[in-house]
Copies of this chain bind each other. A is one copy, B any other.
Amino acid sequence: MIKAGIIGATGYAGNELVRILMGHKEVEIKWYGSRSYIDKPYAEVYRNMFQIVDDVCLDDNMEELADQVDVIFTATPQGFLAGVLTEEILSKTKIVDLSADFRIKDVSIYEEWYKIEHKSPQFIEEAVYGLCEVNREQVKKARLVANPGCYTTCSILTAYPLVKEGLIDPNTLIVDAKSGTSGAGRGAKLPNLFCEVNENMKAYGVATHRHTPEIEEQLGYAAGKPVTINFTPHLVPMNRGILATEYATLVKKPDGSLPTSEEIKAVYDKYYANEKFVRVLDPGQCPETKWVEGSNYVDIGFQMDARTGRIIMMGALDNLVKGAAGQAVQNMNLMFGFEEAEGLNMVPMFP
């Protein structure tokens, strides 16, 4: 039984971490950190936790926390962890960071897209990008894991095998992503009010969303060369779920023909057939966010279009689970040598 602390426990991702860890056999939560609700019972902030969590919220004191717990989850705004991280902290405890602070290796790209100075670039190289299915072995040895973004996890996993195997031209990649509103967080902002979101749909952050360079960096590793893509997020009137529809031009075979649907499927299976949390759908099936809701699964499907020579890839996940808290726990399991799926066997809830 290890001890865990959560900084930012009263955001939606923080609450989802609590939900998941309550069902984890090897972890006990010792610290519900929330600067905004210090001394308030956690169950008063999230009443679903009534009679389940008795603790009160505590301050965001990383140093004290490092003395008390084996792992810290930081579900905090960009810049927080980079601002407080020290070698001493990392020598005492492992960290899974749900913010973007250590996701991007090139600090200048981080600073350009996030518009903030990075306060501890010395830890960037050490940090492991926690996309479990891609970086499993490095995660196992990590002290500091940068948990991927919700859009990013979905976007990368959906295209990764085809980029890695050279079946698509990565610079033609267009990711049109749709997200439930919990991705916008629990802050009281006008655009997130029920009446503004319900019965409405819009794109936002077009050509400027911060998950873009994260997707490009990771797919660049897969491609073996820099990749530039289009990424467009949209807000959908639902609580949870991300659907990424991705378009790319197929690379023709030496004889000028396109790869077949079976060949594409075989490549997906090569990477994911043994991955519990990635479900490659049967040909012709389009993923739906509802089929993965509340679970750690990513569902992936695709459709060839011979008319245009493009492939349409589709991925769906629950942004708070595989897109945030679930993947964070999956990373923790790897870091501590637990069974990778421990605490993550939730069956998707339908309807």
Contact = CB atoms under 8 A, between A and B. Distances in A.
B347 A287 contact: no
A8 B112 CA distance: 40
A27 interface: no
A294 interface: yes
Nearest to A288: B202
A232 interface: yes
A230 B303 CA distance: 11
A202 to B, nearest CB: 4
Contact of A22 (B202, B238, B310, B347): B347
Contact of A202 (B188, B206, B232, B287): B287
| Complex copy number for this chain | 4
A288 B229 CA distance: 24
Contacts of A286: 202-204, 206
A232 B279 CA distance: 22
Nearest to A50: B279
A12 B148 CA distance: 34
B188 A288 contact: no
A341 interface: no
A308 B228 contact: yes
A230 B293 CA distance: 29
Contacts of A204: 286
A269 to B, nearest CB: 12
B351 A47 contact: no
Interface stretch (A58-66, A73-81, A174-182): A174-182
A240 interface: yes
Given A232-B312, A288-B47, A314-B203, A198 B198 contact: yes
A167 interface: no
Contacts of A232: 245, 312
Interface stretch (A82-90, A91-99, A189-197, A217-225): A189-197
Contact of A199 (B22, B46, B238, B312): B238
Interface residues of A, number: 83
Contacts of A181: 193-195, 198
A140 B189 CA distance: 42
A288 B22 CA distance: 21
Contacts of A239: 194-195, 198-199, 351
Nearest to A243: B201
Contacts of A198: 181, 194, 198, 237-239, 351
Which 7 A-B pairs have CB atoms at the shortest separation, nearest pair first? Answer: A195-B351, A200-B290, A48-B348, A202-B288, A207-B305, A194-B197, A176-B176
11 contacts: A46-B350, A51-B279, A180-B199, A181-B195, A196-B351, A199-B240, A200-B238, A200-B290, A203-B245, A206-B312, A240-B351
Interface of A: 12, 15, 18-19, 22-23, 46-52, 171, 174, 176, 178, 180-182, 186, 188-190, 192-204, 206-207, 228-230, 232, 234, 236-241, 243, 245, 247, 279, 281, 285-295, 299, 303-305, 307-308, 310, 312, 314, 316, 345-351
Given A181-B194, A199-B241, 7 more contacts: A47-B288, A50-B291, A178-B201, A192-B193, A200-B289, A203-B312, A228-B307
